[in-house]
A and B are shown apart, each in its own frame.
Chain A
């Protein structure tokens, strides 16, 4: 059965590029436009990995990380941060909030897939 991955990004084009990359690799894809939308969509869903932007309206990526870690079903779900933020401080903030990897945009699809396959839950 295909693994489900949720993409959380306010940029529709970026979501599309990530979704195409993941679809081609055989993953099921769920999309959310920001952290708040993602929290709503996660209810009653089984998601094996999340790819999340940092700067988003309504609920940013770091707040989303902190929030999602309070949900019992998603306490340990791997989350990859995909962002234009390249600063070390932000990375540390993301790590402290529970991110498993930090990918700086623009990304190479095959390298994102390597990160996904490394982290996705069995």
Chain B
């Protein structure tokens, strides 16, 4: 950058000297004086420019020697010279850069810890509300459905048993009608027997003295037929009572069975409805959980990538450390410039401190292709690993 400027100044000064000589030949002493004065002013300007900050002792020495000679002799440190300024400024630069490195390191360490914490928490969150939990709920619901269905089936079995009991009661009711008929038959037989006993008593009366014994028998038969008739009536009455009770029992049982059937049916519907509601809820939970899990996985991947990218700090620190070391080296040399400043040697030694490919590239004036995470491991998908 400074080389062309240096050349321009040298050429400018040389041209002015040539102009002065040409004027001396063509315009006598006036032209010569004019040309020499112009050249003198320009020489002063040249020295002034070369002492400006930013041009440095190296350039000043270049201006005094031939540009193609790399070895230069340092200017003695003048109280207000460039050497003095750089001696004061370089250590400051080094310290400021070092401080920036420390602050970045601290900040990146904190960032890394926070990102890692976020990643850990996300992983734990997935563990709690993930698909496994949903599957567990699904399993519980299925087991619940099976248990409740078993209960409904037991109730239905009980209902069937009650139906069978009712059928038996109905059969029993049929028997009571038969019994009523039989008791009516008993009453009719008793009535016939009574009539026979009456006829026997009449016939005994016709036989007078001889029929006395027969009259007693006929009287007893009559009494027996009366008792039989009375017992038949009692049996009929009892059978009617039993039949009535049976009828009431059957009616109540039928009503109860109907109510029970309705309750069981309703319970079945309710159970099914609750199970479906649970299943809907689980499906919805599962979908939401699946979405959450996808988002979570994406965020975790992003954090993982971020953690890789945060490694840039280590590379930046390495590069800045090299710069700091070189600043300190230059500062030390400026304090004690006893040896010659050999630019080539200095640059070689600086290059030997480099660790990254981009440092070497920059050193040789090439475009730096960073190995940093943005262009390195994360994009190419593989780290540079060598096994020995």
Residues of A within 8 A of B (CB): 9, 11-14, 16-17, 20, 54-55, 83-86, 91, 94-95, 99-109, 111-112, 115, 118
B337 beta carbon closer than 8 Å to chain A: no
Residues of B within 8 A of A (CB): 105-106, 108-109, 111-113, 116, 119, 304, 307-315, 317-318, 321, 355-357, 371-373, 376-378, 381-388
Most B Cβ at <10 Å: residue of A94, A105, A106:
A106
Assess whether A103 is in contact with B304, with CB atoms less than 8 Å apart: no
Return the chain A residue nearest B359 by Cβ.
A84
Contacts of B384 in A (CB 8 A): 86, 103-104
A13-B108, A86-B371 as given contacts; A108 in contact with B314, CB under 8 Å: no
Contacts of A84 in B (CB 8 A): 314-315, 318, 355-356, 371
Contacts of B378 in A (CB 8 A): 106, 108
Given pairs A83-B355, A112-B383, 15 additional interface contacts (CB within 8 A): A13-B108, A13-B313, A13-B314, A14-B313, A17-B307, A55-B321, A101-B388, A103-B383, A103-B384, A106-B309, A106-B311, A106-B371, A106-B378, A111-B383, A115-B387
Assess whether A102 is in contact with B312, with CB atoms less than 8 Å apart: no
Most A Cβ at <10 Å: residue of B119, B317, B371, B383:
B383
A/B interface sample: 16 pairs, CB < 8 A? A13-B109, A84-B315, A86-B371, A100-B387, A101-B385, A102-B385, A103-B384, A104-B385, A106-B309, A106-B314, A106-B315, A108-B308, A108-B377, A108-B381, A109-B308, A118-B387
Contacts of B388 in A (CB 8 A): 94-95, 99-102
Option from A54, A95, A101, A106 in Cβ contact (under 8 Å) with B377: A106
Assess whether B382 is in contact with A17, with CB atoms less than 8 Å apart: no
Return the chain A residue nearest B108 by Cβ.
A13
Return the chain A residue nearest B318 by Cβ.
A84
A101-B387, A111-B385 as given contacts; A106 in contact with B372, CB under 8 Å: yes
Most B Cβ at <10 Å: residue of A11, A101, A108:
A108
Option from A9, A17, A104 in Cβ contact (under 8 Å) with B383: A104
Assess whether A20 is in contact with B112, with CB atoms less than 8 Å apart: yes
Option from B307, B314, B371 in Cβ contact (under 8 Å) with A11: B314
A11-B105, A86-B356, A103-B384 as given contacts; A109 in contact with B315, CB under 8 Å: no
Rank and list the top 8 A-B pairs by shortest CB-CB distance, nearest first.
A104-B384, A106-B311, A13-B108, A107-B383, A102-B386, A13-B109, A106-B373, A20-B116
> Cα distance A106–B383 when bound, in Å?
7
Return the chain B residue nearest A90 by Cβ.
B355
> Cα distance A53–B382 when bound, in Å?
19
> Cα distance A11–B382 when bound, in Å?
22
